[in-house]
Amino acid sequence: MGSSSYKDIFGPTTEFLIMNISIPSARLNRFSFVVYTLAIILIAYGLISWNRLPEPSLILFPSHGEVFENDKQIVNVGERPDLCDALNEPAGYLLISGSINLTKIGLDQGFFQTADEENGIYLDIDGGGQVRLGIHLQDGSTGQVFFRHKYRTGLFNYAILIGADGSIRIVGDQNDIQVQLKDIEPTCSNVRIGAGNETESLGAHVIANISAGDNLEVLNAELDSYVSILTNSQNSSTYKWPLYFGITLLLSTSTIRKLFRGAKSK
């Protein structure tokens, strides 16, 4: 009995089926290579574009009221009841704006306060890098509004508008946070720049413009304009599209290959 090939044993169509399996596999390898290459190019382009972005320009809220600057020391302004008295008017407000140049992180630091022992208004940063605004409430507790996390040293801007109705708005450092508190009752018995919430600024350079008045609606409109200016001055984020698309291609192609290999092994 003579030898026979697999075609004689399994039939004439077996050779076609084997070839048909190998062809998609080869095509998949070529397709994966092209997609992987494209994904790497897109990711590299996105990262290079991001790395070449200029430092965002720091735009401060226009100067107003009294200006205080600690120059890495504490400025003791003292008792200023006129500032907090504005919060007793129907449309009263207290506006504090400026910039803070952090020289240290990972430590509790106070930037400014209007009274000791959380009886007034303070801005500080905790050891975890959370910048927060604290305001004394009528029940004796402290309402807190979280601004943002700071993970490295450097300069950032802020504009804090406190309304007699308990409305709080913090603009700056690419944020526009609006919160409503109830029954605020801060005092302005010991205004200090470069300290707050029983801690000092530890070398941070704090600039604070402070004013008070009775036209909260007008101030909110001015903050709207400030937000618009900040938004238009931000760096372009177009680098994100090639970066995210490249990552998506990379992940999706890897998933397809795993699925194909799993189906082939069964």
Residues 210 and 193 placed together within one structural domain of the fold: yes
Alpha-carbon distance of 93 to 211, in angstroms, equals 8
Alpha-carbon distance of 168 to 191, in angstroms, equals 19
| pLDDT number for residue 94 | 98
Residue length, the chain? 266
| pLDDT number for residue 216 | 97
pTM for the model? 0.70
Strand spans (E) along 115-258: 121-125, 130-136, 142-149, 154-163, 167-172, 175-180, 191-193, 195-196, 199-200, 205-213
For residue 79, what is the domain's CATH number? 2.60.120.200
Q: What are phi and psi of 243, to 5 degrees?
A: -65, -50
Residues 208 and 242 placed together within one structural domain of the fold: no
Give the pLDDT confidence of 203-258 residue by residue, as tens digits: 899 999 999 999 999 999 999 999 998 887 765 566 677 778 778 877 776 665 66
Residues 89 and 221 placed together within one structural domain of the fold: yes
Residues 183 and 242 placed together within one structural domain of the fold: no
222 domain residue, yes or no: yes
Residues 21 and 96 placed together within one structural domain of the fold: no
Residues 158 and 180 placed together within one structural domain of the fold: yes
1 domain residue, yes or no: no
211 domain residue, yes or no: yes
- The whole domain housing 33 covers 6-53+237-265
Residues 205 and 256 placed together within one structural domain of the fold: no
How does pLDDT run along the chain (266 residues), one tens digit per residue?
454 444 444 445 444 444 454 545 566 577 777 777 887 888 887 787 766 655 556 789 999 999 999 987 899 999 999 999 999 999 999 999 999 999 998 899 999 999 998 999 999 999 889 999 999 999 999 999 999 888 888 889 999 999 999 999 999 888 899 999 999 999 999 999 999 999 998 889 999 999 999 999 999 999 999 999 888 776 556 667 777 877 887 777 666 566 556 555 55
Considering its fold, how many domains does the chain have in total? Answer: 2
Residues 101 and 191 placed together within one structural domain of the fold: yes
Give the pLDDT confidence of 24-40 residue by residue, as tens digits: 556 657 777 777 788 78
259 domain residue, yes or no: yes
72 domain residue, yes or no: yes
Token pair, residue 138, equals 């009528």
163 domain residue, yes or no: yes
